[in-house]
Amino acid sequence: MANQTTVEGARAGLDHPEVRHIGVADLRDALAKGIDDFRSKPSHIVFLCIIYPLVALFASRLTFGYQVLPLLFPLVAGFALVGPLAAIGLYELSRRREAGLEISWQHALGVVRSHSIRAIVALGLVLVAIFLAWLVVAWGIYAITLGGTPPTSVGHFAAQLFTTGAGWTLIVLGNGAGLLFAILVLTISVVSFPMLIDRDVSAMTAVQTSIRVVQANPRTMAGWGLIVAGSLAVGCIPFFVGLAIVMPILGHATWHLYRKVVES
């Protein structure tokens, strides 16, 4: 009976790990460690190989018309929504480096053999669905404010956006909707994917833990969200090249944030 109680207690500890209260100093330390991991295993080339084909595809589409121009900002903002999934291999590299193990790109790609791969895929599909929902909402806001008429040029679109009442309504509604989507993703994924890499738990357990982390540290997690959003915005200048550095650093830093806020 005593042994059964011990086993049940251990299982409960895995399913409902304790979460810590952290502060701004912890965020700074997580970022510093993320930068250190990036210097140890630079990954900007890999992200350039992912980012620039997407940029080239979007640019080539613009050459045939400006119908997709209103989706430029929603697509860029969407990096924050799918970022936790895109950085999945970086969490594994940071985990191995923290443990003093050998690290290589084979280990980053090895997450496909993870014990939690089904949960990772399931949660990843949730983020992709949220990203697609955000694009639909963003286009809907554009349609009801500026009428959904495709702009004839970049200058025409900018004039519509910044010199008309409908354009400013689009900016306010679009940013408000984007904030709600960002809060949703932050709440369910701030530590979910690192936890799935680290532990043999279900996607639901990882999401519940992430929610409890945000509940225990609302101001600190809001600060982390602002850091992520601001870093991605800066990374888009110029021509998205900065994302190849910003995204890996944020990915590594997220692992260290997880380690700080969730009990081992």
Please state, in angstroms and rounded to a whole number, the distance separating the CA atoms of residues 195 and 258.
7
For the chain, the maximum distance between any two Cα atoms, rounded to a whole number of angstroms, is 75
Residue 169 maps to a domain = yes
pLDDT in tens, 131-188: 999 999 999 999 999 886 778 777 888 888 899 999 999 999 999 999 999 999 999 9
**Segments forming the whole domain that contains residue 213:** 23-61+68-261
Residue 3 maps to a domain = no
Question: What is the DSSP track for 166-204?
Answer: HHHHHHHHHHHHHHHHHHHHHHHHTTHHHHHHHS---HH
Q: Quote the pLDDT of residue 168.
A: 95
Residue 4 maps to a domain = no
pLDDT at 17 over 60: yes
Residue 6 maps to a domain = no
pLDDT in tens, 45-65: 565 555 555 665 555 555 456
Of residues 199 and 243, more confidently modeled: 199
Residue 51 maps to a domain = yes
Q: Count up the domains in the chain and report the number.
A: 1
Residue 9 maps to a domain = no
- Neighbouring CB atoms inside 10 A of 206's CB total 26
Mean pLDDT of the 112-125 span:
88
Q: 111: which DSSP letter?
A: G
**% of the chain surpassing 70 pLDDT:** 83
pLDDT at 1 over 50: no
Please state, in angstroms and rounded to a whole number, the distance separating the CA atoms of residues 140 and 99.
47
Residue 98 maps to a domain = yes
Residue 12 maps to a domain = no
Give me the residues paired with residue 262 across strands. 19
